[in-house]
């Protein structure tokens, strides 16, 4: 971003759908002022607590379609793993309203890779045990062309990985809203057994490795 759009610590960022603050933290550590806009009270409270040491963090109760931020108040709109939940037309208008002239949007997704035996087995467990999985739009060129100015944006791919022990792996899988959790009794136990078998098959030195492609879309609104 520094090389591509001249991004620096003086730029003001709106992290839309900021959740627990993972993406906000990266910008705060860079020295940026960040408005974390999140409608979910529980996640927003978690972010407020975990990011309390950063004086440049401003927690905002709002949504992508109605952020409550002032006109032209930010240099960058950032969205991490959340764009598919937004009303694209309303959110695009809101982003254009709050960003300064020639401001940018940075859309970030972690996509699980499929070119690895462990990751394919991981996906199989999710497919087997998922329930009421929401149908969400694919973030492709057709979708993004309505967000970026003249449909133009740059795409960057970064390899990413996450090392987890068994409890971490189970927690990662059950963190998705469409997966059974401990309150689901037999369904959760069936999932736990499947995760245990997966872990025993692929663990090395007490860990398994989840592989991702971090995909970044960057352009002007």
CATH assignment of the domain containing 9: 3.40.50.150
Whether 136 has a pLDDT exceeding 80, the answer reads no
Nearest-CA neighbor of 111 among 215, 5, 7?
215
Whether 137 has a pLDDT exceeding 80, the answer reads no
Q: What is the pLDDT of residue 75?
A: 98
74-80 and 12-16 beta bridge pairing: parallel
Q: How would residue 70 be classed by pLDDT, with cut points 50, 70 and 90?
A: very high
Per this entry, what is the length of the chain? 221
pTM of the model: 0.88
Nearest-CA neighbor of 147 among 72, 218, 48?
218
Whether 66 has a pLDDT exceeding 80, the answer reads yes
Query: What DSSP state is assigned to residue 40?
Result: -
Judge contact between 108 and 214, C-beta under 8 A.
yes
Number of domains in the chain: 1
Judge contact between 79 and 174, C-beta under 8 A.
no
Residue-range definition of the domain harbouring residue 52: 2-220
- 174, containing H or E segment: helix 166-174
């Amino acid at each position: 971003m520094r090389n591509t759009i001249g991004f620096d610590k003086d730029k003001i960022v709106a992290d839309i759908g900021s959740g627990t603050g993972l993406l906000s933290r990266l910008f705060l550590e860079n020295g940026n002022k960040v408005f974390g806009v999140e409608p979910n009270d529980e996640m927003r409270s978690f972010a407020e607590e975990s990011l309390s040491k950063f004086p440049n963090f401003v927690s905002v109760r709002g949504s992508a379609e109605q952020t409550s931020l002032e006109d032209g108040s930010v240099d960058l709109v950032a969205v991490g793993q959340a764009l598919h939940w937004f009303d694209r037309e309303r959110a695009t208008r809101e982003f254009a309203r709050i960003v300064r002239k020639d401001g940018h949007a940075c859309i970030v997704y972690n996509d699980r890779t499929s070119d690895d035996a462990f990751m394919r087995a991981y996906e199989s467990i999710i497919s087997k045990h998922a329930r009421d999985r929401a149908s969400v739009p694919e973030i492709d060129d057709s979708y993004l062309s309505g967000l970026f100015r003249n449909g133009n944006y740059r795409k960057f791919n970064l390899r990413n990985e996450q090392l987890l022990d068994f409890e971490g792996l189970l927690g990662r899988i059950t963190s998705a809203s469409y997966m059974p959790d401990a309150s689901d009794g037999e369904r959760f136990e069936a999932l736990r057994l499947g995760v245990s078998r997966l872990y025993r098959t692929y663990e090395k030195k007490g860990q398994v490795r989840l592989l991702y492609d971090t995909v970044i879309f960057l352009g002007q609104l």
